[in-house]
C-alpha cells in the first residue's frame, strides 16, 4: 500500500519532474509530449543502449521564463509537441529563453 496518504502512486512527482524538464505527457496513452518552460538549465535522460535525450535551456533564469526559440537536433522547432518516437531515438532539444513571450514561436 505504500506510504499512508500517498494515493497518487507517484503521479504528482512524475508531473513535477516532467514539467521541470520542459516536457509533459498531456494525454495518458498518447505517445507525445507538450513543451513548456524548463526549470533546469540542462537535463540528460539515459535511454539505455548508449542513447541519451538532452534538454538544454540557454539564458535560463527566474526572469527568463518564456521560450524564444527551440531547436531539435540542430533544426528549428516551431511546434509545441514532440512525439515519443523522436525522444526515444535520442538527441538534443535546445530552448533559448527570454523575459517576454515570443508570440510567434510555437505557432505551427
Q: What is the pLDDT of residue 16?
A: 85
Distance CA 40, CA 57 (A): 7
The answer to the question of residue 108 being in a domain is no
Q: Which 8-state DSSP code applies to residue 13?
A: H
The answer on pLDDT for 8 being more than 70 is no
* pLDDT at residue 2, rounded to an integer: 58
Residue 68 counted as domain residue = yes
Q: Evaluate whether residue 105 is within a structural domain.
A: no
Q: Which helix (H) or strand (E) holds 20?
A: helix 11-21
Kindly report the CATH number assigned to the domain that includes residue 52.
Answer: 3.30.2080.10
pTM tops 0.75: yes
Q: Which residue has the higher pLDDT, 4 or 38?
A: 38
20 in any annotated domain: yes
In a domain, 80, yes or no: yes
List, for residues 63-73, the tens digit of each pLDDT value. Answer: 999 999 999 99
Q: Is there a domain that residue 63 lies in? A: yes
pLDDT tens by residue, 19-30 = 899 998 888 788
- Paired strand residues for 94: 56, 71
CA distance 69 to 78: 7
Q: Whose CA is closest to 66, among 74, 58, 77? A: 58
What is the residue range of 61's domain?
11-98
The stretch 2-28 carries a mean pLDDT of 77
Domain count, the chain: 1
Amino acid at each position: 500500500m505504500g506510504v499512508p496518504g500517498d494515493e497518487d502512486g507517484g503521479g504528482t512527482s512524475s508531473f513535477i519532474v516532467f514539467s521541470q524538464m520542459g516536457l509533459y505527457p498531456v494525454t495518458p496513452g498518447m505517445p507525445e509530449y507538450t513543451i513548456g518552460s524548463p526549470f533546469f538549465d540542462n537535463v540528460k535522460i539515459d535511454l539505455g543502449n548508449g542513447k541519451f535525450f538532452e534538454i538544454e535551456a540557454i539564458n535560463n533564469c527566474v526572469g527568463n521564463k518564456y521560450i524564444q526559440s527551440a531547436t531539435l537536433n540542430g533544426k528549428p522547432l516551431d511546434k509545441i509537441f514532440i512525439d515519443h518516437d523522436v525522444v526515444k531515438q535520442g538527441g538534443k532539444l535546445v530552448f533559448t529563453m527570454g523575459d517576454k513571450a515570443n508570440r510567434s514561436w510555437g505557432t505551427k
